C-alpha cells in the first residue's frame, strides 16, 4: 500500500482567505478533497499535514519516513527560500519528495526565485495552482517503486 503525505508550510492554512490573485480562491480543505478524489483507498493512503513551524515540518517528514511512508509532496511556503534545515531533512530521506508551488516562483520577486529545498527533491512543479499537487500525486502514484523518469 502506497502512503503519500501532502505537506504544506507556513501560511498555507490561509489559502482562500487572502491574496486570491496569487494563490486562487480555494482553501486547503478544497485541496484535500481534490487529491482524495484522485485515489481509491486500495490504491494509496493520503496523509495531510500543515504547519507554520519549521521544526514541526522537519519532525513530520522524518517521522513519516519512519512510519513506512512511500513519498511526499511538499509546498514549503516561504521556507523554500530560507531553510537549510528543511533541505537537510529532505536530503536525509530515502523516499521521493516532490516540491510544489501554487504560484510561479520564477515570475515573482527575486528573493522567491531561488529554492534552497529543490535540490533535495526529485522534481519541482511551480505555477500550476492546485493542479501542481495533482500532477505531483500522479507522478508518485506512477513512479513509486520505480526509477525516476
Ligand atoms: O507559490 C507558492 O506555493 C509559495 O510556496 C507560497 C508561499 C510563498 O512564500 C512562496 O514564495 C511560494 C506563501 C504562502 C502564503 O500563502 C498565503 C495564502 C493566502 C493568504 C496568505 C498567505
Q: pLDDT tens for residues 26-78?
A: 999 999 999 999 999 999 999 999 999 999 999 999 999 999 999 999 999 99
Residue 21's pLDDT band, with cuts at 50, 70 and 90, is confident
CA of 98 to the centre of ligand 1 (A): 17
CA of 41 to the centre of ligand 1 (A): 30
Q: Which residues form the pocket of ligand 1, taking CB atoms under 6 Å from any ligand atom? A: 11-12, 14-15, 17-19, 23, 75, 77-78, 80, 101-103, 105, 112
Number of domains in the chain: 1
Task: Categorise residue 68: left if φ over 0, alpha if ψ from -120 to 50, beta otherwise.
Answer: left
Per-residue confidence (pLDDT) for residue 20, from 0 to 100? 84
DSSP secondary structure letters along 98-141:
EEEESS-GGGS-GGGS--SSGGGSSEEEESSTTHHHHHHHHHHH
* 98-130 residue pLDDT tens: 999 999 999 999 999 999 999 999 999 999 999
Position in ligand 1 atom list of the atom nearest CA 112:
11
Cα 50 from Cα 60, distance rounded (Å): 10
Contact 122, 96 (CB under 8 A): yes
Domain extent, residue 29, equals 2-146
| Residue 50 host element (H or E) | strand 44-50
Given a cut of 90, whether residue 147 has pLDDT beyond it is no
* 130-143 residue pLDDT tens: 999 999 999 999 99
CATH code of the domain covering residue 130: 3.40.50.9100
Amino acid at each position: 500500500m502506497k502512503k503519500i503525505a501532502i505537506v504544506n508550510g507556513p501560511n498555507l492554512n490561509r489559502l482562500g482567505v487572502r491574496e486570491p490573485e496569487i494563490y486562487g480562491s480555494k482553501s486547503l480543505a478544497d485541496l484535500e478533497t481534490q487529491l482524495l478524489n484522485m485515489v481509491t483507498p486500495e490504491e494509496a493512503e493520503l496523509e495531510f499535514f500543515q504547519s507554520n513551524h519549521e521544526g514541526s515540518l522537519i519532525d513530520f517528514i522524518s517521522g513519516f519516513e519512519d512510519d513506512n511512508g512511500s513519498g511526499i509532496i511538499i509546498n514549503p511556503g516561504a521556507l523554500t527560500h530560507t531553510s537549510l534545515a528543511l533541505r537537510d531533512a529532505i536530503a536525509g530521506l530515502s523516499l521521493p519528495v516532490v516540491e510544489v508551488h501554487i504560484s510561479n516562483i520564477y515570475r515573482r520577486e527575486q528573493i522567491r526565485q531561488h529554492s534552497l529545498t529543490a535540490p533535495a527533491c526529485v522534481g519541482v512543479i511551480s505555477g500550476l495552482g492546485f493542479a501542481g499537487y495533482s500532477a505531483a500525486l500522479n507522478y508518485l502514484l506512477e513512479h513509486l517503486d520505480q526509477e525516476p523518469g
